[in-house]
A = this chain, B = another copy of it.
Amino acid sequence: MPDGGNSGVKAGIGDDCSILRIPAGRELLVTTDYSLEGVHFRREWHAAEVAGHRCLTRGLSDIAAMGGEPIAAFLSLALPPKLPQRWVDGFMRGLLKLAGESKVELAGGDTAESPGGVLADIVVVGSVPKGKAVLRSGARPGDRIYVTGELGGAAAALDLLFSKERLDRDLFVRHFWPVARVGIGRSLRQKGIASSMIDISDGLSPDLAHICEQSGVGAEVREDAVPRARIGKAAREVGLRFALHGGDDYELLFTSSKPVPRKIAEVKVTEIGRVIRGRKMILLDAKGRRRALRPAGWEHFKR
């Protein structure tokens, strides 16, 4: 159950600032994420609703990764003068539908004329009980490493888009309609399960590297344990490189020394390795051979 019920937007759009109430005993979470046309989305690939949905998902996912409750979103939106109004309407429809489902109020932002392409910057404000935010810095040697859901689906779809394939949005759901794991993040925080947490927005390898860096630890990942997404009509399993390095999945990566349920809120949770001393990230193959796991992110897929 949400425990941020007392927070809320007291005054939204229409004044110099928006006014929010944060209940005593809670700390504030703030995250900002760009969604730029030609960088994070393309109008020929992503329908307006999809672009709006993905824009807000980026912010919600950061709140999820702290174990927080989202409260309000702020959208800075710059639009090219000749953009059809129906595109803007679609973008806002996609964003506001997700905001409604997530009980997040769009409480302000800015608008401007864009010198080129649609430029969106989403700010999401949330809260968490004082001192309870799940940080990237809490992983300890011996902790096990877990991920929610399956990985690589979003990046594998992107790869197909680059190959000029036309994709059915409903068969590539994790690319077009990603889901921020807000409820799962909150549950992991409330139950004190996660010692550290991050959302997989850049890719498993770079995001695990962030955990290692902030916690001062290393990691050992079992290649065959990494849950790979199935995509398309044939429900084909994605290649390992997409699961290891592909971004935009918005699953949660966390570490824990405690018993972890195999499912949380109907979503599979998979143990993929363990936290080790040192600073290295190691990949173990099925035969037990070890090689370095190097952070390679979304940029990997740019062409």
**8 Å CB interface, A97-149 against B:** 107-110, 112-117, 119, 121, 123, 125-126, 128, 130, 133, 135-137
A17:B30 contact, CB within 8 angstroms:
yes
A63 contact set on B, CB distance < 8 A: 16-17
> Per-residue CB proximity of A1-37 to B under 8 Å, as 1/0?
0000000001100111111111010011111111011
Residue from A18, A24, A76, A214 having most chain B Cβ neighbours under 10 A: A76
The complex places the Cα of A93 from the Cα of B15 at a distance, in Å, of: 30
B74:A19 contact, CB within 8 angstroms:
no
The residue that A78 contacts in the complex, of B20, B34, B61, B113, with Cβ under 8 A, is B34
The complex places the Cα of A293 from the Cα of B28 at a distance, in Å, of: 43
Say whether A219 faces chain B, with CB atoms less than 8 Å apart: no
Say whether A271 faces chain B, with CB atoms less than 8 Å apart: no
Say whether A198 faces chain B, with CB atoms less than 8 Å apart: yes
The complex places the Cα of A110 from the Cα of B36 at a distance, in Å, of: 12
A17:B66 contact, CB within 8 angstroms:
yes
Shortest CB distance A292–B (Å): 24
Say whether A192 faces chain B, with CB atoms less than 8 Å apart: no
The complex places the Cα of A99 from the Cα of B148 at a distance, in Å, of: 39
The residue that A24 contacts in the complex, of B24, B32, B137, with Cβ under 8 A, is B24
The residue that A18 contacts in the complex, of B31, B116, B214, with Cβ under 8 A, is B31
Residue from A30, A107, A199 having most chain B Cβ neighbours under 10 A: A30
A66 contact set on B, CB distance < 8 A: 15-17, 19
B214:A31 contact, CB within 8 angstroms:
no
B108:A30 contact, CB within 8 angstroms:
yes
The complex places the Cα of A19 from the Cα of B30 at a distance, in Å, of: 7
Which residues of A pack against B, CB within 8 Å?
10-11, 14-22, 24, 27-34, 36-40, 61-63, 65-66, 68, 72, 74, 76, 78, 107-110, 112-117, 119, 121, 123, 125-126, 128, 130, 133, 135-137, 197-199, 214
16 A–B pairs (Cβ distance < 8 Å), ordered by A = A11-B135, A15-B137, A16-B61, A16-B65, A16-B136, A16-B199, A17-B31, A19-B66, A19-B128, A24-B24, A30-B107, A33-B110, A34-B110, A38-B115, A40-B112, A121-B121
Going nearest first, the 4 A-B pairs with the smallest beta carbon separation are A116-B116, A16-B65, A38-B115, A17-B29
